[in-house]
C-alpha cells in the first residue's frame, strides 16, 4: 500500500516537472513516505530524519516532506521534534503534494491531516515514458499495484491503521477499471488489487452510478474481462469477511492467481478476542476448508503476532497447533509492539521481550520447515512462471502461487511473458528450474 502511495506521489509530481531520483544529495525535495504499523518502522523514520538535519543545514533551500502514517499520527509534534522538516502530509493528502510544496516557500511550514468527509480523488496516471523509465522501476513495468480502497473500520486492538488512515472508503468502480485499462495498454500483465480489507469493497460508500450493490467479487469479474491482463492478485482479506462468493472466484476466474493472504494473527481464541478479531479459530478453519474445496492448490499465507499482552505459553501453543493444521505456505510474523492510541497499549500484562523473541523464533523455524516441505512438492513438476527480470546468466520470475522462481539460463523473454518451467530444486523461499523445452 505504501509502495503504491509512493508511486502516486511520484506520478503526481512528474506532472509538475519533477523527476524522481534516489540520490538524496542532489535532490531539491526529499519525500519520506512513512509507515507506523510497528514500532520498528517508525524508529527508522525518526533516525533518517535525524540524519537529514545536517543536509538541511548545509542546503537551506532543500525541502523535506514527511508523508503517510507517521505524518498523520504525529502532525505538529513532528515539527517540534524535527524543525528542519518543511511539510507534514497526512494520509489523505498525498495527491496534493505538488501544490503543497509550492506553498511552503520562504521557510513556511505546512501540516495537513485527515478529514471526515474524505473521498478518494479520481487519479488515473498518464503512462508516459517518464513514468515507465523511472529510476526505481526499470525496465518497463509489467506488474503493478492498484489501490481499490483506503482506511479500515475494524479496530483490531493492536492496530494504528484506523487512526492513521481513517474510515474505510472504496474507490469508484470506473476509476479502478479505467486505471487497469491504462496499465494494460501500457504493457502491464499482472495487477495486485490493494486494500486493508478488500472483501468490504463497496460496502461503506457508493462505488457505481446505480443503486445496484457492487461487491469485490463483481469487481474481480469485471477486471478479469480486460483483454491482455494475464494475472490478478489481491491483498488483504480479513478472515471474518471472507465470503463464499470470493472463495468461488478462485475456481471461476481463470486469471485469478491461486494465492491468498489471510492474516490470522494468533491461534488462541482468548487472544483473538482481546485483539477484537471477531472470529474464532473454529470459524477460521471452516473457511480454510471451504476455500480449499473450491481451490485445492491455493497457496495460503498469513500474518502472526507473538507476545500480544496476556499471551500465555498455552495461548502460544495454540498458534503452533494452528500452523500444523493449516500448514501455511508462508507467513509474516512479528513481535507485538505497543502503538500509540491503541487499546492493547493500555493492557497491563505485557509479555517480556525475551519470551517474544523465543516464540517468534520457534514459530519461524517451524514455518520455514513447512514452507520447504510444501515447496519441495513442486520438484519434478512444471509450472507457468511470469518472467520478472533477466541478467546474462539467468532469469527470475514468479509462479501463480507467488514463489520466486530462478530460471536456469537467460531465456531472452520480456518481463511479463509467461513460460513453463520444470522445477528441480526447492528452497524455503524460492524454487529453481529450467525452461520446459530443455527438459
Ligand atoms: N505489533 C506487531 N505487529 C503488528 N501488526 C499490526 N499491528 C501490530 C503491532 N502493534 C502486524 C499484523 C498485521 C501486519 C500488517 O502487521 O500482523 O497483519
Ligand atoms: Fe489493522 Fe485490523 Fe484493520 Fe488490518 S483489519 S488494518 S489489522 S484494524
* Signed CA dihedral, 145, 150, 151, 152: sign only: negative
Cis peptide before 236 (omega within 30 of 0): yes
| Cβ(160) – ligand 2 distance below 6 Å | no
Per-residue pLDDT of the chain (439 residues; tens, 9 = 90+): 889 999 999 999 988 999 999 898 899 999 999 999 988 888 999 999 999 999 999 999 999 999 999 999 999 999 999 999 999 999 999 999 999 998 987 778 999 988 878 888 898 876 655 454 454 444 568 999 999 999 999 999 999 999 999 999 999 999 999 999 999 999 999 999 999 999 999 999 999 999 899 999 999 999 999 999 999 999 999 999 999 999 999 999 999 999 999 999 999 999 999 999 999 999 999 999 999 999 999 999 999 999 999 999 999 999 999 999 999 999 999 999 999 999 999 999 999 999 999 999 999 999 999 999 999 999 999 999 999 988 888 899 999 999 999 998 767 777 899 999 999 999 999 999 999 975 4
pLDDT of amino acid 132: 47
Buried b (16+ CB within 10 A) or exposed e, 410-428: ebebebbbbbebbbeebee
> How remote is the CA of residue 255 from the centroid of ligand 2, in Å?
27
> How remote is the CA of residue 420 from the centroid of ligand 1, in Å?
37
> How remote is the CA of residue 329 from the centroid of ligand 1, in Å?
19
Give kind and range of the element (H or E) at residue 14: helix 2-14
| Cβ(196) – ligand 2 distance below 6 Å | yes
Cell numbers 469479474 label which residue? Answer: 221
CB 166 within 8 A of CB 151: yes
pLDDT of amino acid 133: 45
* Spatial distance between the Cα atoms of 405 and 375, rounded to a whole number of angstroms: 11
Half-sphere exposure of 213 (CA within 13 A, CB side): 7
Cell numbers 513514468 label which residue? Answer: 131
Between the alpha carbon of residue 3 and those of residues 8, 145, 307, the distances in Å are 9, 8, 28
Which ligand places an atom closest to the C-alpha of 264? 1
Between the alpha carbon of residue 139 and those of residues 11, 129, 131, 159, the distances in Å are 16, 11, 11, 36
Mean pLDDT, rounded, of the chain: 93
| Cβ(162) – ligand 2 distance below 6 Å | yes
Collapsed DSSP state (helix, strand, coil) of residue 156: coil
| Cβ(217) – ligand 1 distance below 6 Å | no
| Cβ(305) – ligand 1 distance below 6 Å | yes
Long-range contacts of 361-364 (CB under 8 A, 24+ apart): 362/320, 363/304, 363/306, 363/319, 363/320, 363/323, 363/331, 363/333, 364/333
Residue to mutate, 197, 262, 308, ligand 2, most ligand atoms under 8 Å from C-beta? 197
Task: Give the residue from 30, 25, 28, 37 showing the smallest Cα distance to 6.
Answer: 30
Residue to mutate, 159, 239, 336, ligand 1, most ligand atoms under 8 Å from C-beta? 159
Look at ligand 1, atom 7, and give the residue with the nearest C-alpha. Answer: 159
> How remote is the CA of residue 387 from the centroid of ligand 2, in Å?
33
Residue to mutate, 38, 153, 161, 342, ligand 2, most ligand atoms under 8 Å from C-beta? 161
| Cβ(333) – ligand 1 distance below 6 Å | no
Q: Could you count the other beta carbons within 10 Å of the beta carbon of residue 381?
A: 12
| Those residues with Cβ within 8 angstroms of residue 106's Cβ, 6 or more apart along the chain or in another chain | none
pLDDT tens figures, 92-123: 999 999 999 989 877 789 999 888 788 888 98
pTM to 2 decimal places: 0.93
CB 68 within 8 A of CB 33: yes
Look at ligand 2, atom 2, and give the residue with the nearest C-alpha. Answer: 156
Buried b (16+ CB within 10 A) or exposed e, 252-265: ebebbbbbbbbbbb
First to last CA, the chain: 39
| Cβ(2) – ligand 1 distance below 6 Å | no
* Spatial distance between the Cα atoms of 161 and 154, rounded to a whole number of angstroms: 9
Amino acid at each position: 500500500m505504501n509502495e503504491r502511495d509512493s508511486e502516486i506521489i511520484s506520478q503526481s509530481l512528474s506532472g509538475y516537472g519533477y523527476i524522481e531520483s534516489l540520490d538524496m544529495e542532489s535532490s531539491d525535495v526529499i519525500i519520506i513516505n512513512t509507515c507506523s504499523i510497528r514500532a520498528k518502522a517508525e524508529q527508522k523514520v525518526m533516525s533518517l530524519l535525524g540524519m537529514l538535519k545536517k543536509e538541511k543545514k548545509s542546503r537551506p533551500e532543500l525541502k523535506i516532506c514527511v508523508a503517510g502514517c507517521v505524518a498523520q499520527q504525529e502532525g505538529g509534534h513532528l515539527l517540534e521534534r524535527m524543525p528542519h522538516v518543511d511539510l507534514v502530509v497526512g494520509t489523505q493528502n498525498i495527491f496534493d503534494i505538488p501544490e503543497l510544496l509550492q506553498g511552503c516557500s520562504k521557510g513556511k511550514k505546512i501540516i495537513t491531516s485527515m478529514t471526515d468527509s474524505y473521498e478518494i480523488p479520481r487519479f488515473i496516471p498518464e503512462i508516459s515514458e517518464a513514468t515507465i523509465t523511472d529510476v526505481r522501476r526499470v525496465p518497463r513495468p509489467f506488474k503493478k499495484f492498484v489501490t481499490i480502497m483506503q482506511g479500515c473500520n475494524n479496530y483490531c486492538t493492536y492496530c494504528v491503521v484506523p487512526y492513521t488512515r481513517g474510515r474505510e472508503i472504496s474507490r469508484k468502480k470506473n476509476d479502478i477499471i479505467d486505471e487497469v485499462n491504462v496499465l494494460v495498454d501500457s504493457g502491464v500483465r499482472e495487477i495486485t488489487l490493494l486494500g486493508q480489507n478488500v472483501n468490504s469493497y463497496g460496502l461503506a460508500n457508493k462505488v457505481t452510478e446505480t443503486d445496484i450493490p457492487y461487491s469485490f467479487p463483481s469487481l474481480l469479474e469485471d477486471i478479469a474481462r480486460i483483454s491482455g491482463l494475464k494475472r490478478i492478485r489481491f491483498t488483504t482479506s480479513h478472515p471474518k469477511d471472507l465470503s463464499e462468493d470470493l472463495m468461488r472466484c478462485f475456481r471461476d476466474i481463470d486469471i485469478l492467481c491461486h494465492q491468498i493472504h489471510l492474516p490470522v494473527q494468533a491461534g488462541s481464541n482468548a487472544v483473538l478476542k482481546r485483539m477484537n478479531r471477531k472470529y474464532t479459530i473454529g470459524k477460521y478453519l471452516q473457511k480454510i476448508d471451504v476455500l480449499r474445496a473450491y481451490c485445492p492448490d491455493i497457496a495460503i499465507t498469513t500474518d502472526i503476532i507473538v507476545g500480544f499482552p496476556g499471551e500465555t505459553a498455552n495461548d502460544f501453543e495454540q498458534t503452533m497447533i494452528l500452523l500444523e493444521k493449516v500448514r501455511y505456505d508462508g507467513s509474516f510474523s512479528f513481535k507485538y509492539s505497543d502503538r500509540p492510541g491503541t487499546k492493547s497499549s493500555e493492557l497491563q500484562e505485557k509479555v517480556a521481550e525475551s519470551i517474544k523473541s523465543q516464540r517468534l523464533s520457534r514459530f519461524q523455524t517451524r514455518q520455514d520447515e513447512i514452507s520447504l516441505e510444501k515447496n519441495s512438492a513442486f520438484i519434478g513438476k512444471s509450472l507457468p512462471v511470469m518472467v520478472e527480470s533477466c541478467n546474462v546468466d539467468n532469469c527470475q520470475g514468479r509462479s501463480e502461487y507467488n514463489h520466486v522462481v530462478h530460471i536456469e539460463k537467460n531465456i531472452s523473454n520480456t518481463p511479463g511473458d509467461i513460460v513453463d518451467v520444470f522445477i528441480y530444486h526447492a528452497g524455503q523461499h524460492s524454487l529453481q528450474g529450467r525452461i520446459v523445452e530443455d527438459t
